[in-house]
């Protein structure tokens, strides 16, 4: 509807202009020295339009080679990018020679030659062509100065995989020298520090790992406990042990794993009373199997005191089967067989464990109930076998 209206209006406008020009067409006079050129207005407008069109197409024609070259270059680049994409797909399929071939073809014209080089390095490495891989690493290092960290990081990962730990350490050292905040390099160094038990170095980098690493919080917490645990064990004299413990945060001091290690260390340095105080203080707030075991260990000659304290803990933590079983073992050691039997039976009523039946079997055998003892042993063995067998999902 609108289109038809536009046509009618255009015809009317054209008729109106034609009527005006028919009555008074007008003219253009161009003066040049003694010459005068007179043109009708219509002819002048027509000539002007033709001139503009000529100039427009002339400019386009002159620009054509550049446009053609640009389009050709884009087409070549797209083809190279497609080859690089194919290289990655072939790499994922395990077709390493084909992946290498495509990446080599793509490296000259693709939009990301660095990625092509890295792909060639990974492909040659996957084929165990170490000499070629190292040559490509050198070439990439020379060609892409702006990406030295990426290339060195790739080299370090390869060196670690090949167990060349000293070379990997040197390579990672170069990265950190260039960029002390490179957290990926520090994460790899973390693995090296753990492998070679360099706990002091690892402790120095821990803050950076906490703040910038992509490690999950749970993994970082475990790493921190591992470091503290190792550093506690590495201390030789009691002063350095206590000084280190004093410098730890409250949350770490309340960690049962670390506290247990600290108590064992105190015990080994004839500080059993201090270890006992630490354990008793913790057990007032929380329960820990390891700390109970350590308490029994460091006071193994004080059976009466141990039994008394275990009884108190059982009242406080009545649902802890491990505590009940440890108390039963102490009672057996002290030849209090009836009390031990009661403790084991209580543990079994809370949770059935193979260890409970083995201890019960020992107690029943002591009472001369051989058949009942054998039955208890049989139940314990059956549970142990079932536990060790892999579960097959339907």
Query: What are the DSSP E strand ranges found in the chain?
Result: 27-32, 35-40
| pLDDT for 42 | 67
How far, in Å, CA of 232 to CA of 242, rounded? 9
Of 143, 167, 185, the position where a domain reaches its end is 143
Residue 291, pLDDT above cutoff 90: yes
> Does pLDDT of 393 surpass 70?
no
Please tell me the predicted confidence (pLDDT) of residue 392.
Answer: 47
- Predicted model pTM: 0.63
Same domain, 291 and 305: no
Looking at the structure, tell me whether residues 281 and 329 fall in a common domain: no
**Separation between Cα atoms, residue 225 and residue 48, nearest integer Å:** 86
Of the three residues 96, 127, 143, the one that is the final residue of a domain is 143
Quick one: pLDDT at residue 69? Answer: 73
Rg (CA), the chain: 43
11 located within any domain: no
- 369 belongs to a structural domain: yes
**% the chain with pLDDT above 90:** 23
Q: What pLDDT does 283 receive?
A: 92
- With beta carbons less than 8 A apart as the criterion, state whether 96 and 128 touch: no
Considering the domain architecture, whether residues 261 and 310 belong to the same structural domain is answered as no
First to last CA, the chain: 69
Instruction: Give the pLDDT score at 26.
Output: 64
DSSP assignment of 55-120:
HHHHHHHHHHHHHHHHHHHHHHHHHHHHHHHHHHHHHHHT-HHHHHHHHHHHTTTSS-HHHHHHHH
Average pLDDT over residues 372-394: 76
User: Is the domain of 32 the same as that of 137?
Assistant: yes
Q: What residue numbers bound the domain in which 319 lies? A: 301-388
Strand partners, 27: 40
Last residue of a domain, one of 112, 143, 174: 143
pLDDT-derived band at 15, boundaries 50, 70, 90: low
HSE, side-chain direction, 13 A CA sphere, residue 104: 11
pLDDT of residue 294: 92
Range with the poorest average pLDDT among 62-76, 145-159, 237-251: 62-76
What is the pLDDT at residue 98? 92
Distance separating alpha carbons of residues 365 and 346, to the nearest angstrom: 19
Position 312 scores a pLDDT of 92
Q: Based on the domain organization, do 344 and 247 belong to the same domain?
A: no
Q: Kindly state the tokens that stand for 324.
A: 């009940």
Domain CATH number, residue 326: 1.25.40.10
Candidates 279, 271, 282, 325; CA nearest to 305 is: 279
Per-residue pLDDT at 288: 92
Could you tell me if residue 106 is inside a domain?
Answer: yes
At residue 3, the pLDDT reads 63
- How far is it, in rounded angstroms, from Cα 116 to Cα 122? 10
Indicate whether 270 and 305 sit together in one domain: no
In a domain, 370, yes or no: yes
For residues 123 and 103, the answer to whether their CB atoms sit within 8 Å is yes
The DSSP call for residue 69 is H
Residue 30 confidence (pLDDT) above 80: no
- When the pLDDT of each residue in the chain is averaged and rounded to a whole number, the result is 84
253 & 305 share domain: no
13 inside domain: no
Domain contains 134? yes
Condensed to tens digits (0 to 9), the pLDDT of residues 267-284 reads 888 888 899 999 999 999
Is the pLDDT reported for residue 6 higher than 70? no
Domain annotation covers residue 172: no
Number of domains composing the chain: 3
169 domain residue, yes or no: no
- The sign one gets for the Cα dihedral 235, 238, 240, 241 is positive
User: CA dihedral defined by 38, 41, 45, 50, rounded to 10 degrees?
Assistant: -50
Tens digits of per-residue pLDDT, 180-204?
888 888 888 888 888 888 888 878 7
pLDDT at 394: 42
Q: Percentage of the chain surpassing pLDDT 70?
A: 87
59, 134: one domain: yes
Q: Does residue 380 carry a pLDDT above 60?
A: yes
Q: What is the pLDDT of residues 204-230, one digit of tens each?
A: 777 777 776 666 777 788 888 888 888
């Amino acid at each position: 509807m609108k289109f038809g209206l536009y046509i009618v209006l255009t015809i009317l406008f054209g008729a109106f202009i034609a009527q005006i020009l028919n009555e008074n067409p007008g003219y253009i006079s161009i003066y040049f020295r003694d010459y005068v050129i007179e043109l009708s207005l219509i002819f002048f407008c027509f000539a002007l339009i033709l001139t503009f069109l000529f100039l427009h197409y002339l400019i386009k024609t002159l620009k054509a080679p550049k446009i053609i070259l640009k389009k050709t270059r884009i087409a070549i680049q797209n083809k190279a990018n497609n080859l690089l994409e194919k290289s990655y797909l072939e790499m994922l399929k395990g077709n390493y020679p084909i992946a290498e071939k495509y990446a080599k073809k793509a490296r000259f014209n693709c939009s990301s030659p660095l990625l092509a080089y890295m792909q060639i390095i990974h492909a040659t490495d996957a084929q165990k062509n170490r000499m070629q891989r190292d040559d490509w690493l050198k070439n990439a290092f020379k060609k892409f100065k702006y990406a030295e960290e990426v290339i060195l990081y790739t080299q370090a990962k390869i060196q670690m995989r090949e167990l060349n730990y000293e070379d990997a350490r040197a390579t990672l050292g170069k990265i950190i020298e260039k960029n002390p905040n490179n957290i990926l390099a520090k994460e790899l160094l973390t693995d090296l520090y753990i492998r070679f038990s360099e706990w002091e170095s690892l402790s120095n980098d821990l803050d950076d790992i906490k703040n910038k690493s992509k490690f999950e919080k749970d993994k970082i917490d475990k790493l921190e406990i591992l470091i503290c645990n190792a550093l506690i064990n590495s201390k030789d004299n009691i002063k350095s042990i206590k000084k280190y413990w004093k410098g730890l945060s409250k949350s770490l001091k309340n960690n049962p794993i670390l506290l247990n290690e600290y108590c064992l260390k105190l015990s080994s340095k004839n500080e059993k009373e201090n270890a006992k105080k630490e354990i008793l203080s913790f057990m007032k707030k929380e329960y820990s199997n390891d700390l109970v075991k350590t308490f029994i260990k460091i006071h193994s000659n004080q059976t009466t005191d141990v039994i008394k304290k275990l009884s108190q803990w059982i009242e406080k933590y009545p649902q802890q089967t491990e505590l009940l079983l440890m108390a039963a073992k102490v009672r057996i050691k002290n030849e209090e067989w009836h009390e031990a039997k009661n403790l084991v039976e209580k543990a079994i009523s809370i949770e059935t464990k193979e260890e409970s039946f083995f201890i019960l079997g020992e107690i029943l055998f002591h009472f001369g109930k051989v058949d009942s003892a054998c039955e208890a042993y049989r139940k314990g063995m059956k549970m142990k076998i079932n536990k060790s067998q892999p579960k097959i999902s339907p």
